[in-house]
Amino acid sequence: MPEGLIVKALSGYYYVKPDAAAPGETIQCRGRGIFKKKGLSPLVGDRVVYAPTENGEGTVDQILPRETELIRPPVANAKLAVLLFSLKEPDLNLQLLDKFLVHIEHAGLKTLICLTKEDLLEEADDGSTRDLTLKVQEMYRQIGYEVLITSSRTGLGTEEVKSRLAGEISVFSGQSGVGKSSLLNAMLPGLTLETSEISMKLGRGRHTTRHVELIELENGGYVADTPGFSQLDFLELGIEELSSCFREFHDYAEACKFRGCSHLHEPGCKVREAAAEGVIAPSRYEHYVQFHEEMKDKKRRY
């Protein structure tokens, strides 16, 4: 039985790229009814076994074991999350960036942070925003994240991002209107993903990507261009798991006086000490406290 990769899911159909098929070549397949009975659903990024049918289409018969699984966006086997956050229009939102990082850490993916629209700083000659950008870049690099500054308009950082995507499935995600589709268009001449202007009243863009689809790169990589969104919830994450999703807390948490320390009010908490001394960035600890409260509120409601 032939195997392949689901590169698109739309209206009940799965578009499978057979192994060794030419770029862009797919077979339109339906999933077997047994998946629904088992509560399974094939995802974009799944490697599958399929059976060709007489009408030139196919049936997905088996989902091969997944290495990773994201709930939102629904993508299987992604290894790298590329988080795009704009420096201007909309302004850089560190709280939302940290929320995305929590989800990515929980999912077990590697992360590349892209700070987009650098050309808008050049146009505005915005020295204060430029200084902030360098501080933010250094802060996240010290935590252990890879951070690139990019511009789709000038091409800054485009080739570096592209080289990081080689040979694996990556997810492009971030706040709406930050330039995900523009960066993909810049990396792949001939690709014409729809882009949107920013609503200056709302400070955010329209959602231009409406379904998850893998875009094939010539270097063997696949990029999942996913719907942009400006809100994330913590429904799939346990409150006791939150602190483990802040990388810089790990070493300090092991030295806390109490096992299972929440890092909020317990005496002898080394994470709070590090935050008070500025060793842990104030914004990161502040966001941890906010997320903890948000999760407690959700737990009460549900």
Closest C-alpha to 281, from 109, 138, 133:
138
Is the CATH number 3.40.228.10 carried by domain 239-301? no
Averaged pLDDT of the chain:
85
Q: Is 254 helix (H, G, I), strand (E, B) or coil?
A: coil
Is the CATH number 2.40.50.140 carried by domain 3-65? yes
Whether pLDDT at 287 is above 70: yes
The reply to whether 39 sits in an annotated binding site is no
The reply to whether 269 sits in an annotated binding site is yes
Burial of 57 (0-12, 13-18, 19+ CB in 10 A): middle
The reply to whether 231 sits in an annotated binding site is no
The reply to whether 86 sits in an annotated binding site is no
Question: Average of pLDDT values for 200-204?
Answer: 34
Whether pLDDT at 199 is above 50: no
* DSSP conformational letter for 23: T
Question: Are 93 and 125 in contact, with CB atoms under 8 Å apart?
Answer: no
The reply to whether 181 sits in an annotated binding site is yes
Tokens of 39: 């509560």
The reply to whether 182 sits in an annotated binding site is yes
Give the residue extent of every domain in the chain: 3-65, 75-225, 239-301
Question: Average of pLDDT values for 89-110?
Answer: 90
Whether pLDDT at 29 is above 80: yes
Pick one of 3.40.50.12780, 3.40.50.300, 3.10.310.10, 1.10.260.40 as the CATH number of 75-225.
3.40.50.300
The reply to whether 179 sits in an annotated binding site is yes
The reply to whether 211 sits in an annotated binding site is no
Look at 187 and 139; give whichever has higher pLDDT: 139
Q: How far is CA 152 from CA 116, 126, 178, in A?
A: 8, 19, 11
Tokens of 81: 């999350």
Question: Are 27 and 18 in contact, with CB atoms under 8 Å apart?
Answer: yes
**152 pLDDT band (50/70/90 cuts)?**
confident
**191 pLDDT band (50/70/90 cuts)?**
low
Look at 199 and 244; give whichever has higher pLDDT: 244
Whether pLDDT at 204 is above 50: no
Q: What is the pLDDT of residue 195?
A: 44
Whether pLDDT at 193 is above 80: no
Residue-wise burial string across 165-185, b where 16 or more C-beta atoms lie within 10 A, e elsewhere: beeebbbbbbbbbbbbbbbbb
The reply to whether 151 sits in an annotated binding site is no
Question: Average of pLDDT values for 266-274?
Answer: 96
Q: What is the pLDDT of residue 299?
A: 67
